[in-house]
Chain A
């Protein structure tokens, strides 16, 4: 205990001395004034998602950095994790994971031989603290990690950590690792903190500041932190001009990395997650295993990216196209031969397979089913939620299910028809069940079947007078439903701006939908189109935020 206390005292005194000595140099070294000016207001705090965290680390330090940790569960709001991330914080167990990751990553970054690649300078000695070199490194990686330059105070805090760490360990890089660790564990890295500032051209109004704009664009197009060029455009103010914005949008959207960005959006919107923990009963679905689940997830992603990003086809074809990719485990589930020597091979389902688009793939069908049965209701609810942005209310609490009989005696259709005769159930089930019933030729794993409990399954459906048969009929219905493209446009906006468009943006969204249709329903064009509009950077001041006008006048 005594030993420990003495060490602490030592740390403090070294730290304080250093602080005094460094304060003025650091501001100079940093070159800029306080990047988080006191007049700015935080307008959004979104927790970085796992893919964003991984992508950012790979972009900044190299994609061979190992990231072994468990990430906190995401949360969906109005169908999007991008909206849920704005409601999330970090639990103790979650922080512990990030804290451990921060050490692990910092060690890898500054270990030999990567050290030579990432360091902008050589320390004067390995065993002593080199303040200028440390400041140089911290400033460089700090700007990438925080997605804006560090403030003088943020910089000084890390220099203290690096200096005391060097002092105690006798190793410059150990000290620097600690400083890097502390950047990686900071809220400014783990959360996307968006700030607004007073708009000099528009009186007292606030606008999203240039660095926050850079982040919005970068995460939209690349699902990662801004690169050096984008940050430079924010620093010079160029990004705030129409010309500068256009240049960056063109650059970001024409990079091959736009595939990462659009894929991340599609995975979020289509809710392609949860495959890691999918469970199926082994007796009922002996073909199921984790490899099948992972493959099913991959199939959905490959299909969507190829159709919408690579081939830039009409968005609505996700409901009708039978072009996909297969690997060996999936071929067994779909009961087709797999002759390719490649791991994945393109494949087109024949008409007889009864498939039609993304929702008729094993991924969707098995995810939205029970461990031992299909579930027309769950599938119908998810089809409405994901593709039409229509959310089903919670079921009423006091329903009498006595009329619903045991499934051993009948098909799901017959069981569900009992819901239809119950006035408490009908409101939702008349909407949720028909699309699900059209998919009943696919069991809980998504395998084709015609019979359930010995009885032929009827896959005709009637959705408020719209009659269709089977997955292919459902696909055609969705293709023609204008709600599908409207849902996509709203989701792209909400995904990027972290806010569902409200009634104030109705005419804006309508115009975007029209333009999307005019452009042939092409998704990459939709991304560019939305990023170009001022509404994409619109600021909504959160409740309880400091009064910017008062703060501004104090300055």
Chain B
């Protein structure tokens, strides 16, 4: 849908509606003509995704850190726990010092931090968010014209599927958890090769559309008799149904050719183990499929979970899991930090490095797929040992089609994490001028990283 919106309709839409609080970056974004384009002049779409890893990065009791660079601005120094992004640091902005501010709400351990980043609200209770997550707002803005509005992926091999994406606050997305499941979703039934010369609409799809219209016909009569909470649930159901309708409609349109799209081979099923080496391998394999899915324009928005908030990953053969180590391990008096925790943090970041490498490996236009993505990476906590909501590590990776002035370190102690969330949404192309509630309410994006 986004490609049909021009500046005029956009302005009309915003001024006519309530959302007049439109920051300059938004306008710049739509005026910017410097983005990459395909050989035939078609503009390459910007993709947006979140990347989550559990247990933050390591700070020290004395106020030091194993991850925050000394230098701010461009060409920041690579700290021990940022080693994994060294090769791509010019494409990654690092945000330090930001915090989640729950006001009168409790610090729900391994929950309040990313809930604040994603929904702008510190929730009242664990297991729920009190507002929709930002990826859904970005997806509503830029995800409408592809087969999948959002792809949800969980590489963690945990006991339960992990997703932090929600529209209702209680129903979270059900992610693909294996390479095979992700492959089938992207390239199995329903995949249409955008570069195929022999394309014709499948009449069976039209028949399937009629199945859905019979359901939507009953929407009004059902919603008329329900209470508030049930209405939210049923509205979510109908939103999901509309996404299916959209998926079918997209399949009836001849896809635009995509130079970078090459149908990958079906992957082998991965080993089921939650040790960090396996999770990182899984992350790389799933990132590779995701990257090709984006290059083939099957989706423009994704959520990727490396490990959950109370991460159960561990070093193979060790009896303790990472989560337990962050709490139990004493600070080494000589080193001044928790050596095992810090080592694991580095290993977990290797997963992120691998993830970015895969996005950067695909050539697209005059750059790479990563240059046309904006990946918002963050964790649930700052210093995990004490469940800190201060200094939660966040990063923005990728060029966002030229809109992200990447490769900077922004240090803003005490500032709300929602400023980075707002920045991410705006860079991704979502019409959002303000985000968050209470002390986390903000209309100030981090302008330094916006081109």
Do the two chains bind? yes
**Contact of A187 with B by CB under 8 A:** yes
Q: Determine the residue in chain A with the shortest Cβ distance to B177.
A: A277
Are B225 and A41 touching (Cβ within 8 A)? yes
Contact of B173 among A45, A93, A181, A399 (CB under 8 A): A93
Contact of B273 among A179, A279, A542, A546 (CB under 8 A): A279
**Size bracket, chain B contacts:** 35 or more
**Contact of B198 with A by CB under 8 A:** no
Residue numbers in B under 8 Å from A168 (CB-CB): 203, 206-207
Contact of B224 among A4, A87, A181, A546 (CB under 8 A): A546
Q: Given A11-B206, A157-B218, does the pair A370, B317 have CB atoms closer than 8 Å?
A: no
Chain B, 372-430, CB within 8 A of any chain A CB: 385-387, 389
Q: Given A89-B237, A92-B244, does the pair A398, B321 have CB atoms closer than 8 Å?
A: no
Are A394 and B174 touching (Cβ within 8 A)? no
Residue numbers in B under 8 Å from A157 (CB-CB): 213-215, 217-218
Are B319 and A542 touching (Cβ within 8 A)? no
Q: Given A73-B160, A89-B168, A542-B230, does the pair A407, B173 have CB atoms closer than 8 Å?
A: no
**Contact of A501 with B by CB under 8 A:** no
**Size bracket, chain A contacts:** 35 or more
Residue numbers in B under 8 Å from A90 (CB-CB): 171, 236-237, 240
**Contact of A332 with B by CB under 8 A:** no
Are B316 and A281 touching (Cβ within 8 A)? yes
Are A279 and B244 touching (Cβ within 8 A)? no
Are A274 and B229 touching (Cβ within 8 A)? no
CB distance from A297 to the nearest CB of B (A): 13
Contact of B226 among A45, A186, A281 (CB under 8 A): A45
CB distance from A256 to the nearest CB of B (A): 33
Residue numbers in B under 8 Å from A158 (CB-CB): 214
**Contact of A64 with B by CB under 8 A:** no
CB distance from B185 to the nearest CB of A (A): 8
CB distance from B286 to the nearest CB of A (A): 15
Residue numbers in A under 8 Å from B243 (CB-CB): 92, 95-96
In the docked arrangement, what's the CA distance between A99 and B213, Å?
13
**Contact of B21 with A by CB under 8 A:** no
Q: Given A91-B171, A278-B159, A545-B227, does the pair A401, B203 have CB atoms closer than 8 Å?
A: no
Q: Given A1-B254, A92-B240, does the pair A45, B170 have CB atoms closer than 8 Å?
A: no
CB distance from A382 to the nearest CB of B (A): 13
**Contact of A372 with B by CB under 8 A:** yes
Q: Given A161-B213, A279-B157, A279-B272, does the pair A42, B230 have CB atoms closer than 8 Å?
A: yes
What 1/0 flags go to A353-381 for Cβ under 8 Å of B?
00000000000000000111100000000
Are A73 and B174 touching (Cβ within 8 A)? yes
Binds B, one of A259-267, A282-290, A520-528: A282-290
**Contact of A154 with B by CB under 8 A:** yes
In the docked arrangement, what's the CA distance between A279 and B217, Å?
45
CB distance from A181 to the nearest CB of B (A): 5
Are A371 and B224 touching (Cβ within 8 A)? no
**Contact of A345 with B by CB under 8 A:** no
Are B320 and A544 touching (Cβ within 8 A)? no
What 1/0 flags go to A7-28 for Cβ under 8 Å of B?
1100100000000000000000
Q: List 8 interface pairs A-B (beta carbons < 8 Å), by A numbering.
A: A89-B171, A95-B241, A97-B174, A186-B215, A281-B314, A282-B273, A402-B330, A407-B328
Known: A41-B225, A274-B160. 10 other contacts (CB 8 A): A1-B254, A11-B210, A72-B171, A87-B229, A91-B172, A93-B175, A154-B218, A178-B207, A188-B222, A397-B106
What 9 A-B pairs are tightest by C-beta distance, nearest first?
A542-B227, A544-B228, A372-B319, A95-B240, A397-B107, A89-B236, A545-B227, A157-B214, A89-B233
